[in-house]
Amino acid sequence: MPVISIFFNLKIMMFWNDHAPPHFHAAYVGQDDDTIIDIRTLAVLAQGNLKRRAIELILDWAELHREDLLVNWELARQGKPLNSIEPLE
């Protein structure tokens, strides 16, 4: 699964040609137990092992980059390379 951003030991990923609704996956670097977040609503669709503070950071980042995430979602649906998105600083 392509990693589109990494920050604070968190990786943000998106599958190619994944199922609706538009979403992304987040996990700690080096771990595979991912959390799934809806891009449009920022709702947590599936809870992995992320701590609450990590999810808050990811949601802050996603709110700032929602349009970039939606662009990547469309690229992924078309099987095209995804864009990197700036990390949260």
Residue 30 vs residues 8, 16, 17: alpha-carbon distances, Å = 13, 21, 24
- What does the buried/exposed string (b/e) look like for 69-89 if buried means 16 or more CB atoms within 10 Å of the residue's CB? beebbebbeeeeebeebeebe
pTM score, two decimals? Answer: 0.92
Ramachandran sector of residue 17 (left: φ over 0; alpha: ψ -120 to 50; beta: rest): left
- Per-residue pLDDT reduced to its tens digit, 16-71: 777 889 999 999 999 988 999 999 999 999 989 999 999 999 999 999 999 999 99
Q: Decide: helix, strand or coil at residue 82.
A: coil
